[in-house]
Structures are given as structure tokens and as C-alpha cells.
Structure 1
Amino acid sequence: MNMKADNKKTEFLLRAVENSYKQIVADITDRTELLFQAVENGDKNAIADITDKGVSVNSQDSLRHTPLFEAVTLGNHDVVRFLIDRWADVNIPEVNGITPLMEAASCGDIGMVELLLASGADTDAADDFGDTAYDYAVNQDFQEVGEMLFLEMNIREKIAV
């Protein structure tokens, strides 16, 4: 009889832990979605509040976009700078290997490209098809951005030698 009671207690505790885990996962998912909404709205106070409560500034959605990637896509320099100041990783690629630098280059956003380069963006990173940020800029006919990236790649190559 004691063993039966112990098994019931164990089952109860396991269900409680499983339910708690599911709630924690749901809470994290909800908070991550709130972070992406705050980025979309350009609300730096909300971004700070959400990340201060434990949501990673490098959280990823189903396409592996980070909040930084979203801010780059939206062209919001202030939010990008704010996320970088909160230790956002500028080199996390999305599901197809596209980095924030590639995204900025494909939009021809020279200011964003400069900001990302100054924050350590990798000019040599390639997407799943082997294209770099330089390729993205040139393929979209953003020559000035392409030239900047070409020079940056050469400078970094010389420093590495």
C-alpha cells in the first residue's frame, strides 16, 4: 500500500512539474513575442523592460530572426543601436543564413551598414547560397554600400595577416 501511495505522489509531482514547464515555455514565448512587438513599435522602454525581465536580446522567432534583424529590416537605427548596447549579437543569421549586415546591404542602408560594421559585423559571413553582404549590395545595385563593404573586407584581411 505504501508503494502505491508513493507512486501516486510521484505521478502527481511529475504532472505538476510538466504543467509548470509548459507554463514557463508559454510565458517565455509570450514575452519573446512582446519583445518583437516592442522592436516593431520602436519602443525602447518596452525593450528594456522585457529584456530586464529575462528575455534574451538574442531571442529568435520561427524564422530565426532576432530582434536586431527585425530592427535592421525596419531601418530603425535607434533601436538597432539600443539593442547593440544591450549586447545583441550582430552576426546571428536567420534560417537562410542571412545576417543583419546582409539585410542592411540589400536595402542600401549605408548608415545601418556603418553601424553594424562598427559593432563587429562579419563581412565574410555567407548565406546558404554563398552570398556575402557585398554580394547583396552589388546585386541590388547599391554601389556605394558595395564599395564600403569591399574596402572593409580588404582592411580586415590585411589586419588578419
Structure 2
Amino acid sequence: MITAKVTKKIIIPVFVILVLSITTMLILMISGAFKNTEPLYGKFIYKNADGSMAIIILTKDFVYCENVNYESPQINAAYLLVCDKIKKTEHKFDMNEFRKLQEAYIAEMNFKEVFDGKYSKIENIRYNEKENQYYYEVPNPETGSYGLDLCFDVASKTLSCGDMVFKYAGDIKGN
């Protein structure tokens, strides 16, 4: 009898502590106290339509690209260059002129030659708290103007470069 009473006295407080701990953890998780907002650094891979692998290695200061499709980033960079020209000259462009100027900028760009197989310095990193995403600006090292814009989604652990969405493949030794 005495053992049963002692066991009851021990089990009830342990159970209460356990329930309170679980409740506290759930409340903290719901409130976002344990929300992961840190970017992942390391290797990201994408399988191209032809079966080849595209690779991006992201470090805190540099990005390395290999076998990436640069068409979409070149279009975006050319678009921004045309917008800058419009702001500077205050000239009114119609859509035909805009497209021709954008195509001329694209023809001058060769992101594959500039970025592929090389480490490029990340100039600016921004965090969007609402979307839980990091944005990396990698300028064109030859011109200093617009280059690659990368987006890392913390929740899905994916890195986007233009139309390509790279999956996290692991940390690289030395990061």
C-alpha cells in the first residue's frame, strides 16, 4: 500500500512536467521560435534535360557555377540594363525599341564564359522574412553591372537561378 502511494506521488508530478514540457514546446513551435532562417551553404545540383548535371556551389562570399543554363539570367540582366538606360536618358521607348535594345544587350553578354567553371564574388545578400528566402546578387565581373541573381528558399532547401531550381546536395568540406 505504501509503495503504491509513493509511486502515485512520483508518477503524477512526472506526468504533469511531461505534459507541460510538450505544451511549451508546441506553443514555441507555433509561435515561430524554432523557425529556421539560416541559409545552407554547399553544393546544389540540377539535372538538365539532356541528363547532364548542373552544379552551383554556394559559400558565404562566393558562388561557383558549372553547366548552368544562363539564358534566363541574361534576359533579366539585359532587361535591367534597358531600364537603367531609360532612366538615364529619359527617352520614351516603345516596346519594339525596348526589345531591340534588350536583344542587343543579350548579344553582347556571354554569361557562360564569364561565370561557368569560376568562383564569382557575391556582392549583396538580402533576406525576405515574409517569404523566408535569401537573395544573392552576383555582378558580372567583367562589366560590374548586372549578373546572376540567385534565390535560396529556406523551407524547401532549394536554390533558384533563372528557370532552374537546384536541390541541396550537401555541405562542401572547408565551409
TM-score > 0.5, shorter chain as reference: no
User: What TM-score does the superposition give when structure 1 sets the normalisation length?
Assistant: 0.29
Larger Rg: 2
Higher strand share: 2
Higher helix share: 1
